[in-house]
Amino acid sequence: MTERDAWLALASASGVGETIFWGLVAAHGGAAEALRAVASGWKPRDDELRITRPTRAAIVSAFREPGTVARRVNELGLWTVTPLDTGFPLRLRDIDPPPATIFGWGDVAGLSAQRTVAVVGTRRPTLDGRTLAARIATRLVAADAVVVSGLAIGIDGAAHAATVGAGGRTVAVIGGGHAHPGPRAHRALSRDIVESGGAIVSEHAPDTLP
């Protein structure tokens, strides 16, 4: 079991949020040792690290099959970055605690752009709303900003499409794993985002449902 595989496995175990993840890593000096400890029956003294039975079972399963998430990452052609990597976005490092892992397609550099602006909104916009979102995105491209949105139908899609159309870069942050990368209607848009130098990213393991 490599430390990287263990890191992905622990971070992706059901019920393991950022507090539990970082608490376990701090308590045991790494993800691999944390998996071994929990699988061996270790129990935390800190109330903040209270681990429920389902979560403990998920961690034990991750210990037994630590390479499962890493294999899915490879199968889907994803990259991963963690706070241990130099490519981890500086702004995300300022979050306490930071995300344990970011999964993605495309260019990770978009996450660390000097100018990033989020354009998000309703899934059922008016024509005027859709037009305004596209106009805002186009102007942001002219200002050399990376447009961030959520790949949802509606305002999100309009912002992504306008950014790509204007020759800019856009980052889509999806609410599930990359095996479920947003609406089917946006599959072509997803390819355009990646091919134009943008990225599709998630904090969730590849098979997580939105």
Residues 6+ apart with CB under 8 A from 121: 129, 133, 154, 155, 156
The model's pTM: 0.93
Residue among 30, 27, 62 nearest 42 (CA): 27
**pLDDT in single tens digits along all 210 residues of the chain:** 899 999 999 999 999 999 999 999 999 999 999 999 999 999 888 777 888 999 999 999 999 999 999 999 999 999 999 999 988 998 899 999 999 999 999 999 999 999 999 999 999 999 999 999 999 999 999 999 999 999 999 999 999 999 999 999 999 999 999 999 889 999 999 999 999 999 999 999 999 998
Locate 168 and state its tokens.
């800019």
Residue 152's pLDDT is 97
Residue 143's pLDDT is 97
Residues 6+ apart with CB under 8 A from 180: 174, 207, 208, 209, 210
The pairing of strands 199-202 and 102-106 is antiparallel
Cα dist from 168 to 123, 182, 183, whole Å: 23, 21, 22
Residue 182's pLDDT is 85
Residue 155's pLDDT is 98
Give domain 81-202's CATH number out of 3.40.570.10, 3.40.50.1980, 3.40.50.450, 3.40.190.10: 3.40.50.450
Question: Hey, where are the domains in the chain?
Answer: 3-75, 81-202
Residue 5's pLDDT is 96
Helix axes 18-28, 3-12, angle to 10 degrees: 150
Rounded CA separation 38/16 (Å): 12
Residue 146's pLDDT is 98
Residue 50's pLDDT is 85
Residue 44's pLDDT is 84
